[in-house]
Amino acid sequence: MRVSHIQKFSLWKFCIVACTISFTISGCTPQKRAMLRVTAENFRDRAADAIISVKKIYELNNLPIDDDLVIERLLTDTNIQFGIPTEVNRIITGESRLNTQSSDLDQALDALKAEYDMAVEVFKKLETIDYESKRIVAQTAQPARCLTVKMLLLAKRIQERPPRPRDWERVIISSKLKHLGEQYRKLNMSLQPEVEAEEIKRQVVEQIDDWRKVNAFEQQSLNESISKLLVAADTGRKLSELIEDYPNLNFEVIAARVTQIVGVATSFTGNDYSSTLTKINTLEKEISEDKILKEFMKEISLRNRQVQPPNSQLCQ
């Protein structure tokens, strides 16, 4: 009787110790950390994709080269220095030394992309260590949140102050319209003014049509870019949530959540302007409901408006 009592006691003790060990291990298993790494990689890929599209819509395009004009210029411009290859190249290809270098804007966007790569590196390293990994996971929440907010702010900026990537096409249309106007005003000197007037009007209609097409194409590419940024921001938001809940979730729950996060991209496309706007607002609302993300958003937006240089270590 006494013996069995001792046995029971030992069994209980063993159970408690085993449970403690198993809780400690399952708190931050390599599998769970691998799931975080997958999500971080997904976040990075989407951010990289979004940044490429942002670069594209901020590209400053030159006017297309007209071969006939190049020939005429080479033959008639007496100031061309044919002994300098860069000069001849500039005339033939339209490329100057200035616009072949990587632009300041591209460099800024590359630096932004590097931050996302760095986040992935952190999660990769984290996967290989056991000691204190739980505490380090908690620390990764901050940069992940910061990167999320950055994607959203970039989307908002494009929506509020859209760049005009297709302006060079408008330049050409404007120039054509100017010439058509000049022709029209000289019609009284023509032999068949009415016939010619009709022809000029037809060409103006054509140009108006082209201008509208430029507007529509441009809006489409802006929407696509905004959508990509929103997909990235949304992935980041979910990654932050996952990090937050990480210690309390088991592998299966984390795996299920990650599968859902990785599969979400298809639900956002840039086809519809009004829906893009709604998505910005929805995501902004979701972020402002998250207590910590809200603080980040406030601090970064404030830094936008204030004149003093950033003194917080928020996103460092």
Q: Which residues bind another protein (CB under 8 A)?
A: 58, 60, 62-63, 66, 69, 72-73, 76-77, 79, 90, 96, 98-99, 103-109, 111-112, 154, 157, 161, 163-164, 167-168, 170-172, 174-175, 178, 300, 303-310
Name which of 104 and 194 has its Cβ closer to another protein.
Answer: 104
Cα distance between residue 230 and residue 275, in whole Å: 12
Cα distance between residue 127 and residue 61, in whole Å: 44
Query: Least Å distance between CB 33 and another protein?
Result: 32
Which residues 6+ apart lie within 8 Å of 281 measured at CB? none
Phi then psi for residue 132, to 5 deg, are 60, 20
Phi then psi for residue 164, to 5 deg, are -120, 75
Neighbours of 283 (CB within 10 A): 22
Cα distance between residue 10 and residue 16, in whole Å: 10
Name which of 164 and 294 has its Cβ closer to another protein.
Answer: 164
Query: Least Å distance between CB 203 and another protein?
Result: 16
Name which of 4 and 79 has its Cβ closer to another protein.
Answer: 79
Query: Least Å distance between CB 89 and another protein?
Result: 13
Query: Least Å distance between CB 309 and another protein?
Result: 5
* Sign of torsion over alpha carbons 136, 137, 141, 146: positive
Name which of 78 and 128 has its Cβ closer to another protein.
Answer: 78
Name which of 160 and 194 has its Cβ closer to another protein.
Answer: 160
Query: Least Å distance between CB 17 and another protein?
Result: 53
Cα distance between residue 158 and residue 58, in whole Å: 10
Q: What is the DSSP letter of 307?
A: S
